[in-house]
């Protein structure tokens, strides 16, 4: 799949600018549906967590943290589970559709972190966090972005696998076993959620820093005046 | 360059691409109060359907060594209203009805004539905690044979002395680890743990492990799924 590039003549000034079609429709659709599903899963998941906010024994019970009811979805445990067990299918569905599309369209090359990208990670970290010079960019995603997005996809897969191990610890006993049993799978599922939230925080900071054209590209697919052309 | 356009035309292209995303707004249906309940009910029903497909009748729940047992004193007592509904042991029977050849009242002694099985299995509560307990009793499958249950029947429903009620699909009921349990930790059931008879179904979630059984019905249609199911929990909840 070759990237579509547009040359745009401004009707008033006659100036020519460029735009790149960065995000195909399926990717954008999956992105937004998955983002909403993720939010529902986080807040309904915290509702479920509230029923037993611990990873230790039931007797005696030592709570890990008190999550306020106002920041949890579903009203009670049963409601939280209904949201969770409904939106997990939407989350899994968009995840699978996205992965299938990426593989068959070969669009994954845009985002998949490969060994050759390792070299470029540090210069980007140096630039973002230590005010180093901006490395030369030739692609839609720089090596650090590829690392972040590839990690996010791995975390998404882990959230599903740890979730399956909690939901079906007998039928997917091998999954639960891989995670150290039902008890630990529950802790992993919780930890993966926080890892995803950490990614989300960084993602949102970067969205703000990269400005409007970049944000719009996830809505329309087209990114105006990309820096790498 | 494979697209030459002007700024006005480009705006139109962008608008069209944005509109393509409008199906995302369909998720807004979940925010409509009137639609929310039925939608979530459908989602839960779909999960139950998938759960039933995932159930394998020959697949055993993991069993544990005695050293891995949660001490009896730390096995939670989870009654839905009272810990002890005051069952009269002397006159207790399990009343069997429905699609069976031999309905009637069964005494504990009759149930105990069936082969006894003991197992150390995990009890998982919907709240998220889990304990490993030791359970002993007769296989529900053997009891179903004793009462001549219709093999085509699809559900087992039970009534409890404290007005709790529950249900099982027959595939799960016939699972080799599904017990009519009268012993925990090699001792007769205590009142708090459901004496004289409770369910021990290691392939199901905790609220399905009904205690102080008084009635058992074999049926083709599910009339009452269960106390918690009626509050909004999953009907199938297989582990």
State which residues form the domain around A136.
24-211
**CA B151 – CA B143 distance, rounded (Å):** 13
In a domain, A218, yes or no: no
Q: Residue-wise over A60-91: b if at least 16 C-beta within 10 A, else e?
A: eeeeeeeeeeeebbbeebbbbbbbbbbbbebb
In a domain, A151, yes or no: yes
- Given this model, what pLDDT does residue A129 score? 85
In a domain, A223, yes or no: no
User: Does A5 lie at the interface with B, CB-CB under 8 angstroms?
Assistant: yes
Asked if residues B137 and B94 have their Cβ atoms less than 8 Å apart, the reply is no
Per CB-CB distance under 8 Å, the chain A contacts of B233 are 78, 81
CATH number, domain of A182, equals: 1.20.950.20
- Given this model, what pLDDT does residue A139 score? 81
Give the closest-approach CA distance of B219 to chain A in angstroms. Answer: 26
B58-231 belongs to CATH 3.90.420.10:
yes
Q: Residue-wise over B135-174: b if at least 16 C-beta within 10 A, else e?
A: bbbbbbbbbbebbebeeebbbbbbbbbbebbbbbbbebbb
- Given this model, what pLDDT does residue A147 score? 93
Supply A211's token pair: 């400005």
The ipTM assigned to this model is: 0.93
Question: Is there a contact between A77 and B122 if contact means CB atoms under 8 Å apart?
Answer: no
Question: Is there a contact between B238 and A170 if contact means CB atoms under 8 Å apart?
Answer: yes
Give the closest-approach CA distance of A180 to chain B in angstroms. Answer: 13
Question: Is there a contact between B27 and A36 if contact means CB atoms under 8 Å apart?
Answer: yes
In a domain, A43, yes or no: yes
Give the closest-approach CA distance of B187 to chain A in angstroms. Answer: 21
Give the closest-approach CA distance of B100 to chain A in angstroms. Answer: 30
Consecutive 10-residue averages of pLDDT for chain A (229 residues)? 81 90 94 97 97 93 92 95 97 97 90 90 88 83 91 97 96 95 95 97 93 92 84
Size of interface A-B (CB pairs under 8 A): 148
pLDDT in tens, chain B (239 residues): 588 888 899 999 999 999 999 999 999 999 999 999 999 999 999 999 999 999 999 999 999 999 999 999 999 998 777 788 889 999 999 999 999 999 999 999 999 999 999 999 999 999 999 999 999 999 999 999 999 999 999 999 999 999 899 999 999 999 999 999 999 999 999 999 999 999 999 999 999 999 999 999 999 999 899 999 999 999 999 99
In a domain, A155, yes or no: yes
| CB-count exposure of residue A126 (10 Å: 0-12, 13-18, 19+) | middle
Of B18, B27, B126, the CB nearest to A219: B18
Which of A179, A202, A201, A203 is closest to A191 using CA atoms? A179
In a domain, A207, yes or no: yes
In a domain, A189, yes or no: yes
Phi, psi for residue A135 in degrees, rounded to 5:
-65, 155
Question: Is there a contact between B56 and A171 if contact means CB atoms under 8 Å apart?
Answer: yes
List pLDDT tens digits, range A27-81: 999 999 999 999 999 999 999 999 999 999 999 999 999 999 999 999 999 999 9
In a domain, A121, yes or no: yes
Question: Among B129, B193, B227, which would you mutate to test the A interface (most chain A Cβ atoms within 10 Å of its Cβ)?
Answer: B129
Question: Is there a contact between A58 and B62 if contact means CB atoms under 8 Å apart?
Answer: no
**CA A38 – CA A101 distance, rounded (Å):** 20
């Amino acid at each position: 799949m070759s990237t579509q590039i547009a040359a745009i003549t401004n009707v008033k000034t006659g100036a020519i600018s460029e735009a790149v079609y960065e995000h195909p429709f399926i990717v954008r659709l999956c992105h937004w549906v998955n983002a909403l599903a993720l939010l529902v899963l986080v807040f309904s998941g915290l509702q479920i967590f509230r029923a037993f906010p611990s990873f230790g024994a039931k007797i005696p019970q030592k709570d890990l943290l008190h999550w306020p009811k106002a920041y949890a979805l579903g009203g009670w445990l049963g409601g939280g589970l209904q949201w969770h067990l409904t939106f997990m299918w939407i989350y899994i569905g968009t995840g699978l559709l996205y992965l299938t599309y990426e593989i068959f369209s070969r669009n994954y090359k845009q985002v998949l972190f490969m060994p050759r990208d390792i070299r470029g990670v540090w210069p980007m970290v140096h630039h973002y966090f230590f005010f180093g010079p901006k490395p030369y960019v030739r692609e839609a995603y720089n090596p650090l972005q590829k690392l972040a997005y590839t990690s996010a996809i791995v975390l998404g897969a882990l959230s599903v696998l740890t979730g399956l191990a909690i939901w079906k610890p007998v039928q997917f006993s091998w999954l639960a076993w891989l995670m150290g049993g039902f008890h630990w799978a529950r802790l992993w599922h919780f930890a993966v959620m926080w890892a995803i939230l950490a990614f989300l925080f960084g993602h949102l900071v970067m969205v703000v820093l990269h400005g409007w054209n970049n944000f719009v590209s996830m809505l329309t697919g087209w990114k105006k005046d990309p820096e790498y052309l | 360059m494979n697209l030459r356009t002007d700024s006005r035309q480009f705006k139109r292209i962008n608008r069209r691409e944005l509109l393509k995303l409008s199906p995302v707004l369909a998720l807004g249906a979940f925010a409509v109060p009137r639609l929310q309940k039925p939608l979530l009910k459908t989602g839960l029903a779909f999960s139950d359907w998938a759960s039933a497909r995932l159930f394998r009748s020959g697949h055993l729940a993991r069993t544990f060594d005695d050293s891995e047992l949660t001490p009896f004193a730390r096995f939670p007592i989870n009654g839905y209203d009272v810990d002890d509904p005051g069952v009269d042991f002397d006159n207790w029977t399990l009343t069997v009805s429905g699609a069976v050849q031999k309905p009637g009242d069964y005494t504990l002694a009759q149930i105990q004539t069936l082969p006894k099985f003991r197992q150390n299995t995990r009890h998982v509560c919907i709240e998220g905690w889990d304990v490993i307990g030791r359970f002993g009793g007769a296989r529900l499958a053997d009891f179903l044979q004793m009462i001549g249950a219709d093999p085509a029947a699809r559900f087992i429903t039970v009534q409890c002395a404290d007005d709790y009620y529950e249900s099982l699909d027959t595939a799960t009921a016939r699972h080799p680890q599904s017990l009519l349990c009268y012993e925990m930790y090699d001792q007769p059931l205590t009142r708090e743990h459901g004496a004289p008879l409770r369910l021990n179904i290691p392939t199901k979630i905790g609220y399905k492990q009904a205690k102080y059984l008084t009635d058992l019905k074999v049926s083709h249609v599910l009339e009452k799924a269960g106390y918690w199911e009626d509050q909004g929990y999953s009907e199938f909840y297989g582990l």
